[in-house]
Amino acid sequence: MSDTPTNYKGPQRVLSGMQPTGRLHLGNYLGALKNWVELQKDASRECFYCVVDMHAITMPHDPATLPDAVRSAAAAYIAAGVDPEKSAIFAQSAVPAHAEMAWILNCVARLGWLERMTQFKDKAGKDKERASVGLFTYPVLQAADILVYKATQVPVGEDQKQHLELCRDIAARFNRDFGKGEAVFPLTEPLIQGPGARIMSLRDGTSKMSKSDVSDNSRINLEDDADMIARKIKKAKTDPEPLPATVEELEGRAEASNLVGIYAALSGQTKADVLAEFGGQGFGAFKPALADVAVQYLAPISDEYRRLISDKAEIDRMLTKGAERARAVAQPVVDETKKTVGFWG
Ligand code: AQP
């Protein structure tokens, strides 16, 4: 879009979120949460971290357990190091501006753009006629989550790359159609970083670690205790070959590559560093070393999670405060957007 204004001058803001669709796992942590914690250290950028319960209802869900699932995700954010004093932590549904903005952006996004989204195809499966309309427009709601804060950076895992590109397309189209030469919305930058950007299932190195995988052994949950973590790593699928000496030789060895990537992400090294240490060794030696690193890293997070989740009232107070902070930023943005598109009042 050549005549699209790109002169956005607003403040730097960070937004990200997770669905309360199950227990948060190592993939969610290494792909996103770990970077959320880093980003909040820079006080010049305000950070907004939501639990996206409106996204969670795009698939069949249980209304009776959803509120506790939101609390559980919020507790996991804090246990992982997100500081509710520095960052706004809140439930998406507690900030009505997300839904208002989503409607406007539904009218900016093009059907053809959404039809290309691979996550919809994966989640809808073969019977897409029966998928909810919400699942189809999920990426537009995600764009609304981002643009209602005029967020300039979004830390996510690699699986979200396509949705973030769509968000930029929507922002660019809005700026072009309604901006009168000004960039109303930023072209948000996706922050997809490090060896943790795509953590795969422990049972199948070709599919991503996911909350909704039926096998609990496929993932390490942030609330798993040391024994459970060690057991899951011991059971993780591997191949019979020893670890190679170079990253290139991991090609075609999805499970080995995944375990080396997890070790690298947890120990703050590159895959090449890990192979320099373990190349030539079998999984009989590597898996216990990986289990040690994982337990050492995750034990404080799971201990803190258990402490936090035992006090629901405190989590609710924090979510209420976070929603107030979020509303104070989001409502003026959506009000301005409504004026821009010509709504009455
Ligand atoms: N395996 C992964 N590796 C790296 N990052 C990941 N993320 C998810 N899985 C991995 C990142 O975590 C954030 C939150 O994801 P989400 O809750 O919005 O939903 P998702 O991406 O669909 O995650 P799941 O765990 O697979 O949930 P279900 O099973 O409910 O669909 C995002 O930043 C994502 O990139």
- Atom number, ligand 1, closest to the C-alpha of residue 209: 1
The rounded Å distance from CA 205 to ligand 1 centre is 16
The rounded Å distance from CA 157 to ligand 1 centre is 7
Q: What is the distance between the alpha carbons of residues 1 and 107, in angstroms, rounded to a whole number?
A: 18
DSSP state, 180? T
The rounded Å distance from CA 122 to ligand 1 centre is 13
Residues in the chain, pLDDT under 50: none
In 3-state terms the chain splits into helix, strand, coil percentages (rounded to 5) of 55, 10, 35
- Residues sharing a CB contact under 8 Å with residue 226, sequence separation 6 or more, in sequence order: 295, 299
Q: What is the distance between the alpha carbons of residues 257 and 270, in angstroms, rounded to a whole number?
A: 12
DSSP β-ladder status, 153-155 and 88-91? unpaired
User: In the chain, which ranges are continuous DSSP H helix?
Assistant: 26-28, 34-39, 53-56, 66-79, 97-106, 111-115, 118-124, 133-147, 161-178, 226-235, 254-267, 271-278, 283-309, 312-340
- Atom number, ligand 1, closest to the C-alpha of residue 208: 1
- Residues sharing a CB contact under 8 Å with residue 113, sequence separation 6 or more, in sequence order: 166, 169
At 2 the pLDDT is 53
> For the chain, which residues make up each domain, given as ranges?
12-198+312-341, 216-307
Query: Of all protein residues, whose CA lies closest to atom 35 belonging to ligand 1?
Result: 157
- Atom number, ligand 1, closest to the C-alpha of residue 197: 4
Would you tell me which CATH number, out of the four given (1.10.10.10, 1.20.1250.20, 1.10.240.10, 1.10.530.10), belongs to the domain 216-307?
A: 1.10.240.10
The rounded Å distance from CA 322 to ligand 1 centre is 22
Q: What is the distance between the alpha carbons of residues 117 and 137, in angstroms, rounded to a whole number?
A: 10
Query: Of all protein residues, whose CA lies closest to atom 8 belonging to ligand 1?
Result: 28
Q: What is the distance between the alpha carbons of residues 83 and 158, in angstroms, rounded to a whole number?
A: 24
Q: Which residues are catalytic?
A: 123, 208, 211
Report which of 240, 260, 263 is spatially closest to residue 250, judged by C-alpha positions: 260
The binding-site residues of ligand 1, defined as CB within 6 angstroms of any ligand atom, are 18-19, 21-22, 27-28, 31-32, 156-157, 159-160, 197-199, 208-212
Report which of 185, 189, 171 is spatially closest to residue 9, judged by C-alpha positions: 185
Fold for domain 12-198+312-341?
A: Rossmann fold (3.40.50)
Best of 51, 159, 161 for a ligand 1 pocket test (most atoms within 8 Å of beta carbon): 159
Contact by Cβ (8 Å): 258, 233? no
The rounded Å distance from CA 280 to ligand 1 centre is 33
- Atom number, ligand 1, closest to the C-alpha of residue 123: 31
